[in-house]
Amino acid sequence: MTRASTPQASAASAQTRIDQTQDRPEHKRRGRAVRGQDFAIGPRVLQGSRQRAYERGQDDPVYRPLRIYALDPSASVSDGAQAIVNVPYEPLKLTPSGLRGAILEVVDAPAADPVHLDDPFVLMRQGHMPSPEDAGFRQQMTYAVGSTTYAAFRQALGREVAWGFRRDDGETGSRLRLRPCVEHLQNAFYDPGRGEICFGAFEAGASVCGRNVPGGMVSLSLAHDVVVHEMSHALLDGLRSHFLHPSNLDVLAFHEGFADLIAVFQRFTYRDVVSRAVRASRGEISASELITDIAVQFAQALDATGALRSAAPKEERRYEDTIEPHFRGEILVAAVFDAFNRVYQRKTAALFRLASDGTGLLPPGEISELLANQLAERASVLASQFLSICIRAIDFCPPVDITFGEFLRAVITADMDLVPSDDWGYREAWIDAFAKRRIYPAGVKSLSESSLIWRAPASALPPEPELSFSSLRFDGDPGRVASPEEMLRQATAFGQLAADKAYLREFGLCPPGDAALGEDTVDLPVVESVRASRRVGPSGQVVFDLIAEITQRRVVKKSGKGPGFDFFGGATVVLDPRGRVRYAVGKSVLDETRLEAQRRFIQNEGQAFFGIAPHDSLWPAEKLLLRLHQVTRPQLRASVGTRAMVRGLESTEAGRSAVRYLARRGQTQPWVSLLKHCLNLDRNLALMPALDDSSDYDMAVEQAVSRLQMASKASVDGIAGPATWGIVGTRLRGQKDTALPDAAADTPRWIGGLLKNDPVTTRLGGLDIEAVIDMTEFSFGPLGSAQRTGLAYLLDRLRSDRDITDLRWAAYMLATVKHECGNTWRPIEEYGKGAGKAYGQAVTVRDGSGNPLRNVYFGRGYVQLTWQQNYAAIGMALGLGRELEIHPEKVLDPGIAYDVMSYGMRHGTFTGKRLQSYFSASLADYLNARRIINGTDCAESIAGYANRFQTMLQACA
């Protein structure tokens, strides 16, 4: 039988939808809702009218070609690490700290000169040449990659994407700020409170791999994956007003996974990278780490591992057992990339057969250039399609409380809506990949496409003529609204429909005072956005819709069940060009099952992401994405021993240390039964069923430990080590009427110490110095002979110092020495000896005999004592007279250096701040304790060291 052929024009025409909504008997409208009385208009509605991408003039260039790192500075040029990307042209304004376009502005460090991309010489070179040391290139890189990421969203959605941030000063900015050099920040994050993305610039760790140098400078703004990832966070926040409200395990995991997906698929736009990956993997894209690895240099510089995450992890976690957001997000990435790979294999199978005489098995050796080019072309086109599929699905997601299963339903609905004829089985690949990872949408009877698509509203909702495309006014393009007044008119018309008392329940809303609320209250429903959508399919078909979003906040009162919190409901509404509601993808504000699930999440796994607000309620933490990165990047916060165990390096020195201190799933340790008993005693964990009393570290223990770590804002890895035991001890000591269990004879002493030693009351007189040194090597890596001697001396002085009355003081002093003395554990001179600094100038002083001396009071000792007046003051305080002022080099003597540190940190000699200001029975502020020495310089890193040393001292006291 002859197979029917379908000309592309026929496919485009047949699949273009203008109005597929069936006419149904309409309910008589019972009354139109009133703005201000029945609903409100959210601030984001008008933000879209204030933000306008540049509209190219007839004589303008189409593109501005700029050089970038397609991977990061550590990658090989032969792998396509450097590229020239065509950025949509717009005129750029030079500012004192960077550059400014229509939707982005780059604000660099004060000392950096702004990049002038319109300079004729720079234009001829297609921008600055890639260089980690060039501030101009740093600005160019963030602008170029940020612009192309924005363009990808705009192309997929067929409209401009409005930013969602509202700055703390009340400004609803039209430009997102990109800060490419935030010094000492070992991170990158989107901050909606300031309307900016901060990219850290920091020194690499002592243990690195790849093309990185220990102590070398790493700029995350030069890592392509990181820039795209953070831009995607900002764009997703603009598309959905409450996707940053952490209401369940999937919400933050979705933010992370979605941002990684955009980063991975954007990489396919660089043909040299794809071609190299195809050649190296012989066409097996999923086997190419060049394609699948995410944030390589970031991980290499901090963790000495190959990548931060992967789209094709070698060992996949189970969705239902994974609570850490980055790991859970990695499961989403793996599922989508698996679907991509399945379709890629279908679309390239014919090429493999042609290249192998019909067998499908390629001969040994490098594949031909022709085959490599064809495979790379298909992979790039397919990746572009998957990128658009992921972005378009957001328009079909519920506005609150997103889950992975709902994202799958959104993908299937949006794709079937645009491409009814799925000859290559895209949707089937998505469904199978999600099912393989046991990601199932709630409320569906099967995984068929017809079961997964969203349904039309149950009620016969009337059309809204004011929202038909014939009534809408545009600024030349359906993706650009004509004016703020038109935006307000559309939002009002939608609110009049959605907040109509006859239809509230269809949109997940309820009226104030509804009996189902009990003691809770609700705000007026808020129209968050109304946006036109123009989607273009692979055959050229075009589909127009209007996407609207309405939400409602329920204020859950504090009760015997726990503190109060905000609970959101609402709907994403898809209207056809005639103003008829096609889909209302809602979450009811009256859904008690969902409310109780959110309560459990907030009280357990989600504790780390909430802070106390007025009236004993919980609000999401400020700078939530930064908090997410700080709390849940175990591979960047874990001890050397933990990282060795995770990477299967038990045969190394660090690995052997790990075996003594750690246990993970699949192992058996005699003290695991004690751990289980302690976890069962923790009332806040409320484990049901309780853990058994065996010595097997099974999946139930891993889940319980992960929940404990998440709730305590610790590194979440499901591995039990000293830090976890410290948390267990702290929580059990804080429970009234809970007797701490006795450790068995074969339980290591350090476990007993962490269970019973309170850091506020425990003294260091019985400190086991050798045990602390051993735990230091477990945590930070091997020590040389001189380092061990230096650390032992310090610990001995701390043990005998009667003025050190708080174990946490000792922990912070050790952390300070580790940082200030560069891990040498001995007093040192400042690098550079104060050159170029005010205190680095030679000063004339006279000794006791009146002889003139030329001294330079640069940093010396354990805490880098500087300035003549400080040398003089602390010398007098220690009873040394003018000895240190006359002979500043004596601060390098370990005994004097220790006395300087101990006295100065306790008495506020250096900055006026002292240890007692940051530590009390109810306070332990390691972060701000840095002000005792040097403001907030490297405060986060030193606080991390101090937390580790506190654990060691508690364990060994």
pLDDT tens, residue by residue, 547-560: 999 999 999 998 88
Report the C-alpha gap between 409 and 413 in whole angstroms.
Answer: 6
Phi/psi for 754 (5° steps) reads -70, -30
Report the C-alpha gap between 929 and 937 in whole angstroms.
Answer: 11
List, as one string, the DSSP characters of 319-356: GGG--SHHHHHHHHHHHHHHHHHHHHHHHHHHHHHHHT
Report the C-alpha gap between 533 and 572 in whole angstroms.
Answer: 13
More reliable by pLDDT, 145 or 313 = 145
Report the C-alpha gap between 931 and 908 in whole angstroms.
Answer: 10
More reliable by pLDDT, 712 or 81 = 81
User: Of 786, 756, 783, which Cα lies nearest the Cα of 772?
Assistant: 783
pLDDT at 366 over 90: no
For the residues 418-422, what does the mean pLDDT come to?
91
Could you tell me whether strands 63-69 and 610-613 are parallel, antiparallel, or unpaired per DSSP bridges? unpaired
Contact 341, 286 (CB under 8 A): yes
Report the C-alpha gap between 951 and 948 in whole angstroms.
Answer: 5
Residue 634 has what pLDDT?
Answer: 43
Report the C-alpha gap between 128 and 109 in whole angstroms.
Answer: 18
Helix pair 369-393, 325-355: axis angle to 10 deg: 140
pLDDT at 612 over 80: no
**Distance, CA of 776 to chain centre:** 29
Residue 361 class from Cβ within 10 Å (0-12 exposed, 13-18 middle, 19+ buried)?
exposed
* Top-confidence range, 126-140, 192-206, 835-849: 126-140
* 3-18 tens-digit pLDDT: 555 555 555 555 555 5
Residue 818 has what pLDDT?
Answer: 93
Contact 643, 634 (CB under 8 A): no
Could you tell me whether strands 564-575 and 617-620 are parallel, antiparallel, or unpaired per DSSP bridges? parallel
Average pLDDT value over all residues in the chain: 88
Cβ–Cβ contacts within 10 Å for residue 894, how many?
17
First to last CA, the chain: 85
Residue 539 has what pLDDT?
Answer: 78
Q: Give the Å distances, CA to CA, from 245 to 31, 251, 566, 619.
A: 33, 7, 9, 9
Residue 749 has what pLDDT?
Answer: 92
* Length of the chain as a residue count: 957
Report the C-alpha gap between 201 and 142 in whole angstroms.
Answer: 13
The pLDDT confidence band at residue 264, using thresholds 50, 70 and 90, is very high
pLDDT at 300 over 50: yes
Report the C-alpha gap between 227 and 149 in whole angstroms.
Answer: 9
Q: Name the pTM for this structure.
A: 0.80
Residue 241 has what pLDDT?
Answer: 87
Determine which of 66-80, 200-214, 372-386 has the lowest per-residue pLDDT on average: 200-214
Contact 407, 339 (CB under 8 A): no
- Residue 509 backbone zone (phi > 0: left; psi -120 to 50: alpha; other: beta): beta
pLDDT at 170 over 70: no
DSSP 908: T
Residue 745 has what pLDDT?
Answer: 75
Phi/psi for 684 (5° steps) reads -70, -30
| Residues facing residue 696 across a β-bridge | 668
More reliable by pLDDT, 804 or 610 = 804
Helix pair 653-661, 769-780: axis angle to 10 deg: 120
Could you tell me whether strands 526-536 and 40-41 are parallel, antiparallel, or unpaired per DSSP bridges? parallel
167-183 burial: b if 16+ Cβ within 10 Å, else e: eeeeebbbbbbbbbbbe
| 521: Cβ contacts below 8 Å, ≥ 6 apart | 512, 554, 555, 557
For the residues 704-708, what does the mean pLDDT come to?
89
- Residue 802 backbone zone (phi > 0: left; psi -120 to 50: alpha; other: beta): alpha
Residue 608 has what pLDDT?
Answer: 75
Report the C-alpha gap between 291 and 296 in whole angstroms.
Answer: 11
The pLDDT confidence band at residue 28, using thresholds 50, 70 and 90, is very low
Report the C-alpha gap between 847 and 842 in whole angstroms.
Answer: 15
The pLDDT confidence band at residue 21, using thresholds 50, 70 and 90, is very low
User: Of 192, 211, 195, 214, which Cα lies nearest the Cα of 203?
Assistant: 214
DSSP 946: H
Task: Please give the domain boundaries of the chain with CATH numbers for all domains.
Answer: 242-452 (no CATH), 455-622 (no CATH), 626-747 (1.10.101.10), 787-956 (1.10.530.10)
- Alpha helices for 128-285 (secondary structure H): 135-157, 224-239, 249-267, 271-281
Residue 362 has what pLDDT?
Answer: 85
The pLDDT confidence band at residue 574, using thresholds 50, 70 and 90, is very high
For the residues 408-423, what does the mean pLDDT come to?
94
Phi/psi for 735 (5° steps) reads -90, 130
Cβ–Cβ contacts within 10 Å for residue 849, how many?
5
pLDDT at 591 over 70: yes
Residue 736 has what pLDDT?
Answer: 83
CA angle at residue 639 from 213 to 811, to 5 degrees?
Answer: 105
Ranges of beta strands (E only) in 51-167 are 63-69, 82-88, 93-95, 98-100, 104-107
E strand or H helix at 383: helix 369-393
Structure-block tokens of residue 220: 């995350």
Expressed in percent and rounded to 5, the helix, strand and coil fractions of the chain are 45, 15, 40
Residue 498 has what pLDDT?
Answer: 94
Contact 220, 142 (CB under 8 A): no
